[in-house]
Amino acid sequence: MKTSSLILVLAGMVAGLPAHAQQADGNWMVRLRATHTDMINHSDEGMGLLTPADLPKDAIAADNKTIPEVDVTYFFNSSLAAELSLTVPQKHDLDIVKGRLAEPIGSFKYMPTTLMLQYQFNITDNILPYFGLGLTYSDFSSTDLTSTIGGGDLHLENESFGEAYQAGVDFRLPNNFFLNADMTKRFIDTDVNVQQGKVSHIELNPLGLSLGIGKRF
């Protein structure tokens, strides 16, 4: 699904809410999560100054990492909610992998921010699963990449917009606390450039597996 189409779907779903549901006092939930990000790491073979022999397909690899995450959820009604997921800039190392050999080429930081529209439903009063779809924005910064391939410094495009999909469940605890388990797929990509132009394109597309605690009020 293209990002522009997803924006229209989300807008239509929110616009279709009953007027009283949008205007009524809502419930809030704040969660703290530990999220393990598993990078997919698809990349194009070398182009421009780099040949496929210099940079084979899927040769660029970012490392996996466990990161902290804060999520704020607003409940429109008992079925629909919006969730904003935030974190701090996370540092990842990059390698160029050829066969069994990996050449470190530096690191970068990125900060994914994700807005989800969720459908909530209850199995019981104490088990509350949900599904979500939305948009993720990533800001790439502190890029420190060098490589002997092509004889020049590499850098990444600064921003990425993509879709995001989510499934999770909250387990009710005493005093309006909840134990949360969540799986989120984010589509994050960026161009890899040298001064003379683009040499590859990488899709990070991390799968996030999260466990956390939440408070509803």
- Would you say residue 54 has pLDDT above 90? no
Q: Where are the domains of the chain?
A: 3-9+30-91+106-216
pLDDT in tens, 87-130: 999 999 999 887 767 888 889 999 999 999 999 988 888 999 99
Question: What is the arithmetic mean of pLDDT over 144-153?
Answer: 67
Distance (Å, whole) CA 135 – CA 162: 6
Domain 3-9+30-91+106-216: top CATH class: mainly beta
Phi, psi of 8 (to 5 degrees): -65, -40
Distance (Å, whole) CA 136 – CA 7: 11
Burial status of residue 25 (CB atoms within 10 A of its CB: 0-12, 13-18, 19 or more): exposed
pLDDT in tens, 160-212: 999 999 999 999 999 999 999 999 999 999 998 887 788 899 999 999 999 99
Q: What's at 16, amino acid-wise?
A: G
Q: What 3-state class would DSSP assign to 82?
A: strand
pLDDT given for residue 147 in this prediction: 64
Distance (Å, whole) CA 62 – CA 39: 7
- Would you say residue 12 has pLDDT above 60? no
DSSP string, 120-157: E--SBTTEEEEEEEEEEEEEEEEEEE--SGGGS-BEE-
Distance (Å, whole) CA 161 – CA 135: 7
pTM passes above 0.75: yes
CB 192 within 8 A of CB 176: no
